[in-house]
Chain A
Amino acid sequence: MLEVVYALWRRDMIKFVRDRRQLVTSLTRPFLWLLAFGFGLRASVRLPTGGTDYVSFLVPGLAAMTVLFASMFAAISIVWEREFGFLKELLVAPVPRGAIVAAKILAGSATALIEVSLMLLLSPLVGARFSPLGALAALPLLAIFGMTVNALGIIVAARMKSFEGFGSVVNFVIQPVFFLSGALYPIVGLPRGLRAVVFINPMSYLVDAVRGLLIGHHSFPLVVDIAVILGSAVVFAALATRSFRRMEA
């Protein structure tokens, strides 16, 4: 059982390593945000935290975004595999459905972890300042959030009929989760209604925790953040396994 999970995990990792172009593309996104948004707005943004530079303030949010995109895309690859038929090979194999889901989630999270590590490693080059130790401590949380998003992606993929629905996934899942997470702005000044939405978004707690660890600014206690991150991972993994079981090849 564990060996099967490992073999399936390894399959995704091999493909990730082979496809270097994808890695470069995925790193372009956070840096584009960092440069255009960070430097573009740096002069006009006054953060309630005082001395923090907006570029450094953005890094935790963009780290979370990197994980969000990477994990979601990794999960959506299931739709691709269903179109190309490989999924059928897995479904007729004497492999528990849960093992397939576990491998997918672990691989999606691992690739996201590699991407976000590189992003954090490179961001000081454009002037971001944060605690390196804090960044190290944030990695496990980012990885766990990667599993959550991957599980969410599997739930979405199980309902997608073809790859054409991909655009709506970006519009209706990825973007709301990203924009309503406090990744780009502090949540203290938000109107009440909007704040409520941010509060039910699990990503907000990840951004909060990572920001706390990197630049010492956070709105919730770290324990609450960690509890939400772990709890949502468990819930979504369970839901993902359920929808994967129901999916027809």
Chain B
Amino acid sequence: MNPAIEVVDLKKRYAEVEAVRGIGFTVGAGEIFGFLGPNGAGKTTTIKILCTLLQATSGTARLAGLDVAASPAEVRRRIGVIFQDPALDDRLTADENLMLHAVAYRVPRAERRARIDEALQFVDLFDRRKDLTRTFSGGMKRRLEIARGLVHRPDILFLDEPTTGLDPQTRARTWEVLRGLREKYGTTLFLTTHYMDEAENCDRIAIVDHGLIVALDTPAALKQRVGKDQIAARSADPAGLARLLSEKYGIASTPADGGLTFLVEEGDAFIVKLLTAADRPPLEGISVRRPTLDDVFLSLTGRQIRVEGAEGNAARLRAMGRRR
């Protein structure tokens, strides 16, 4: 069986910039694969090439064994795409939007009604099916788009920043829906995000920066690469604790408000060791923070990912303005 997505040395050059500079990766069927990176890293360009909306400058991309450049029509029939900005016809009802989609993707007439109802129920919008989508909230629109992506049962669903601009609750709900999708239909999900916490929902993540993949692995393995856990200890005698740590365990620590912090491998095990030792350390509280993908990104690129950067906000404001 062909992998769901197979990309080899993909490049895309615009007049001035090279947005994608030689990306290659493989996504297995039924996998949730994430493209993580800051704005302008080349994520959306890659998705557009995979969805046949853009031509690559060089390199190949195959979806389920089909070359996207050579057979765009067949590729389009097998994929679903959920764009960064809502792409609904907001003067049509939810139902009409989905029906149009079903016809466009040649869902057999006899199955249309049932599939649309099922998709609407899946995203919890069945009761609102007769309402114009312009009356929907941002989260509802996103869910409706996911429903639309299901109507033709695509093998691969592409999601460009699926939860950008949604509140945390709606975000969590969207992820529930997405995971349910894979469970129920075995759909392969390819998504881009610049949220670190969101990337953790993926089976594997490619971290992209400046048009290149700088790391590709499971979230856990990527975090392991950064290695150490950060431990924050509260203590009435930070100096004594620091001395104990350095003399007995050879660990350097940094003073912090009301105690100190230090880095250690397998932090949870270390705490147990520390607490069960004969010489009771002067501790009032202790906590472990596992490395996050934020830390991974920072260690790989030397930069913090711009989650709520001015750029992102400006883009979002523009998008909102356009929606008026």
Q: Which residues of A come within 8 Å of B, CB atoms?
A: 3-4, 7-8, 11, 14-15, 18-19, 81, 83-95, 248-249
Are B100 and A11 in contact, with the CB atoms below 8 A?
yes
Assembly CA distance A4 to B79 (angstroms): 18
Are B100 and A18 in contact, with the CB atoms below 8 A?
no
Q: Is B53 an interface residue (CB 8 A)?
A: yes
Assembly CA distance A83 to B99 (angstroms): 22
Q: Which residues between 64 and 95 of chain B lie within 8 Å of chain A, taking CB atoms?
A: 73-74, 76-77, 79, 81, 83, 85-92
Whether A95 contacts B104 in the complex (CB less than 8 A), given A84-B323, A249-B53, comes out as: yes
Are B100 and A84 in contact, with the CB atoms below 8 A?
no
Are A83 and B322 in contact, with the CB atoms below 8 A?
yes
- B residues within 8 A CB of A94? 73-74, 76-77, 104-106
Whether A14 contacts B104 in the complex (CB less than 8 A), given A83-B322, A94-B73, comes out as: no
Min C-beta distance of A163 to chain B, whole Å: 10
Q: Which residues between 96 and 134 of chain B lie within 8 Å of chain A, taking CB atoms?
A: 96, 99-101, 103-106
Assembly CA distance A59 to B297 (angstroms): 69
Q: Is B52 an interface residue (CB 8 A)?
A: yes
Are A8 and B100 in contact, with the CB atoms below 8 A?
yes
Are A7 and B87 in contact, with the CB atoms below 8 A?
no
Q: Is B27 an interface residue (CB 8 A)?
A: no
Are B87 and A86 in contact, with the CB atoms below 8 A?
yes
B80 (CB) vs chain A CBs: closest residue: A92
Assembly CA distance A161 to B101 (angstroms): 26
A100 (CB) vs chain B CBs: closest residue: B104
Are B322 and A86 in contact, with the CB atoms below 8 A?
no
- B residues within 8 A CB of A4? 103-104
- A residues within 8 A CB of B96? 11, 14
- A residues within 8 A CB of B91? 15, 18-19
Q: Is B51 an interface residue (CB 8 A)?
A: yes
- A residues within 8 A CB of B90? 84
Min C-beta distance of B291 to chain A, whole Å: 37
Assembly CA distance A4 to B101 (angstroms): 9
Min C-beta distance of B61 to chain A, whole Å: 15
Contact of B83 among A7, A8, A85, A95 (CB under 8 A): A85
Min C-beta distance of B73 to chain A, whole Å: 5
- B residues within 8 A CB of A83? 322
Whether A15 contacts B92 in the complex (CB less than 8 A), given A83-B322, A88-B87, A89-B87, comes out as: yes
Interface hub of B73, B88, B100, B322 (most chain A Cβ within 10 A): B100
Assembly CA distance A18 to B93 (angstroms): 11
Assembly CA distance A15 to B52 (angstroms): 29
B74 (CB) vs chain A CBs: closest residue: A94
Min C-beta distance of B49 to chain A, whole Å: 12
Assembly CA distance A7 to B112 (angstroms): 14
Assembly CA distance A87 to B81 (angstroms): 13
Assembly CA distance A37 to B320 (angstroms): 43
A96 (CB) vs chain B CBs: closest residue: B73
24 pairs across A/B with beta carbons < 8 Å? A7-B104, A11-B96, A14-B96, A15-B89, A15-B92, A84-B85, A84-B87, A85-B87, A86-B89, A88-B53, A88-B83, A89-B83, A89-B101, A89-B148, A92-B53, A92-B79, A92-B81, A93-B76, A93-B101, A93-B105, A94-B76, A94-B77, A95-B104, A248-B54
- A residues within 8 A CB of B83? 85, 88-89
Min C-beta distance of A54 to chain B, whole Å: 40
Assembly CA distance A14 to B96 (angstroms): 10
Are A7 and B106 in contact, with the CB atoms below 8 A?
no
Whether A92 contacts B106 in the complex (CB less than 8 A), given A15-B92, A85-B86, A86-B87, comes out as: no
Assembly CA distance A132 to B92 (angstroms): 37
Contact of A90 among B73, B104, B148 (CB under 8 A): B104
Assembly CA distance A90 to B89 (angstroms): 11
Whether A7 contacts B53 in the complex (CB less than 8 A), given A14-B92, A84-B323, comes out as: no
Are B85 and A85 in contact, with the CB atoms below 8 A?
yes
Min C-beta distance of B110 to chain A, whole Å: 14
Whether A93 contacts B53 in the complex (CB less than 8 A), given A84-B322, A84-B323, A88-B83, comes out as: no
- B residues within 8 A CB of A88? 53, 81, 83, 87
Assembly CA distance A87 to B88 (angstroms): 9
